[in-house]
Structure 1
Amino acid sequence: MGDLDEIYNNYAEDVFKYLMCLSNDADLSEELTQETFYQAVKSIDRYNGECKMSVWLCQIAKHSFFKYLEKNKKQRRNDVFQEHTLHTTPEAEFIHSEDKIALYRIIHLLEEPYKEVLLLRILGGLSFKEIGEIQLKNENWARVTFYRAKIKLRDRSMMNYDQ
């Protein structure tokens, strides 16, 4: 039991930050962090040590997040819409300016892996090496993918301004 506590203490914050990058929701990230470690305990016999423990856990977290999205896709959209319409204040509108919303829409439209690499780097503050490990690639792949994502982002934002 001591080993499991040590693993949790060493990696829970990293898993939580990763999930925050994916979901941008602290409560959901906390819930999915717990789910990640639950799934990790259930499948610890499949961890063979070929990758770092943090990478393995982030892969489980990613699968937990996507499973959650599939399960709650429609309900989540309704909740977000209702929360936005019920809690809109002038201050909140100022914080969520049109430019910021437009940027997030463009990011949302990027295809994978560009969207995920961009979010992990910008919002998550992860290094290219960490991103490469999470994606089961290398650091150079993460750098190139991030660069290409920025180009796609710039091109799409320019198209929106031209319209």
Structure 2
Amino acid sequence: MDKDNIYQDYGDFIFKYLLTLTNNLDLAEELTQETFYQAIKSINNFYDNGTAKFSTWLCAIAKNVWLQELNRKDKNLQLKESLQGESIAFYDLEDDYIKNEDKVMFFKKAHQLNEDKREILYLRLLGDLSFKEIGSVLEKSENWARVTFYRAKLELRKDE
């Protein structure tokens, strides 16, 4: 078996095999490259053993590469999930301070708005009401609530 021609001889075959396993073109290409890298690294093991067909040996390597990829993705997902759970448990004083400072600045700016804009802002952001509900509460139209809210946002951003 000529090491230089292994990829030319078996590359398409291994790629198609991995494509059936992964159902992902990019991943199959990446794993094909890794398969041939691993095969070249351990080609002496094939010659020492010599009991299987070369294509079967390559398929075994490809399957192991694919299983390693699945295992790696599973571990990354588990790590991500565990870190998301832990991020809630950590208390970051600096982040808390910045959030509170932002809130204070927001309310200072909001307090400077006229009464209608301020009330719509509070109902929309703090009360989580729809524009239709805001219009009903203030005995105005839904469109009036939308336009007034938009103008309030513009006024708040004006000073930024």
Query: What TM-score, normalized by structure 2, do the two folds share?
Result: 0.44
Larger radius of gyration between Structure 1 and Structure 2? 2
Structure showing greater relative contact order (alpha-carbon pairs closer than 8 Å, 6 or more residues apart): 1
